[in-house]
Amino acid sequence: MIKQTRDLGLSVFQICDYPEIETLSDDELAAVRHAADTFGVQIELGTRGIQLAHLRTYLGLAGKLGATFVRSMINTANHRPSASEAIDVLRRVVPEFAARGATIGLETYEQVRTDTLLDVIGAIDDAHLGVVLDPANCVAALELPSDVIRKCAPYVVNLHVKDFAFVRAPGWVGFSLNGCPLGEGLLDYPAMLDQVRPDDRGINQIVEHWLPWQGNYELTSREEEQWTQHNVDIMRSTR
C-alpha cells in the first residue's frame, strides 16, 4: 500500500484504525519505515481513544515509524470520557507529543458534538492538538456538514476527504448514508478547501471511502482502486 501511494504520485500514507500495527516487532516497524523512506512516503498513524497509556503507545510507534501525526477520537466502544476527563488526559499527554515534534488530531464524529470537541481542544490551546475534519461523520448527529466545516476550520490539522450521499432504502422506507466518488455527493469540497486552506497551512489531505461492499473482495478492491484514482484526480484539479 505504501508503494501504491507512491505510484499514485502521493506522498502521505495514514495507517488508521489498524490496531495490528501495535503487534509489530521493532524489526517489522523498521521494515515499514524503510519502505516508506525508500518510496518517499510520509507515514501518519491513526487510532481510537485518548487513554493516557494508549496515546503514549502510539507516540512510541510514531517515533519508530518516523511519523509526526497521530489521529484519534475521544470515544471508543468501551471508554466514553466526559469533556473534563478528556481535558485532564490531554493536558498531560499533548506536551509529550509536542516535545517530540508530534501532533494529535481528534476526528469529528457523531459521538461527540462538534462544539464539545472544540471546547476540549480550546481548553488545551496547543498547536500540537487539533481537529481531523471529516464532516460526513457528523451527519448522524444532525449536524450540517457546512456548519462543521465552518466551526472547525481554524483548528484543523488533518483532513479526511470522502464524499457521501443519502440513498433511499428499498421500498422507499428510510435512507442509507453511503459513500460515493468525490464530487457526486453532498460534500462541498471546494468550499471546504476555501475555508481550511490546507495547502497554505501544510495540512495533509487523506483520501478515505465509505465504499459499499460489492459482493466479493475482488470486485470491492477493484472499485476501491477506481474511486481512489477518481478522488485523487478531482483533488488535484481542485487545488
Any idea what the CATH number is for the domain that residue 136 is in? Answer: 3.20.20.150
Strand ranges in 47-155 using DSSP code E only, listed in sequence order: 69-72, 103-107, 129-133
Indicate whether 239 pLDDT > 90. no
pLDDT (0 to 100) of residue 170: 85
Q: How far apart are CA 14 and CA 59, in angstroms?
A: 15
Helix (H) / strand (E) containing 98: helix 83-99
pLDDT (0 to 100) of residue 172: 86
Q: Considering Cα of 171, then 176, then 238, then 14, what sign does the dihedral take?
A: negative
Average pLDDT, the chain: 96
- Residue 160 forms beta bridges with which residues? 206
Digit-coded pLDDT (tens) for 86-113: 999 999 999 999 999 999 999 999 999 9
Task: Please give the tally of structural domains in the chain.
Answer: 1
Digit-coded pLDDT (tens) for 2-43: 999 999 999 999 999 999 999 999 999 999 999 999 999 999
Digit-coded pLDDT (tens) for 204-235: 999 999 999 999 999 999 999 999 999 999 99
pLDDT (0 to 100) of residue 104: 98
Reduce the DSSP state of residue 204 to 3 states and report it: strand
Q: How far apart are CA 102 and CA 166, in angstroms?
A: 37
pLDDT (0 to 100) of residue 171: 85
pTM recorded for the entire structure: 0.95
pLDDT (0 to 100) of residue 154: 98
| Range(s) of the domain holding residue 135 | 2-238
Q: How far apart are CA 80 and CA 37, in angstroms?
A: 37
CA angle 45, 79, 102 (to 5 degrees): 25
pLDDT (0 to 100) of residue 157: 98
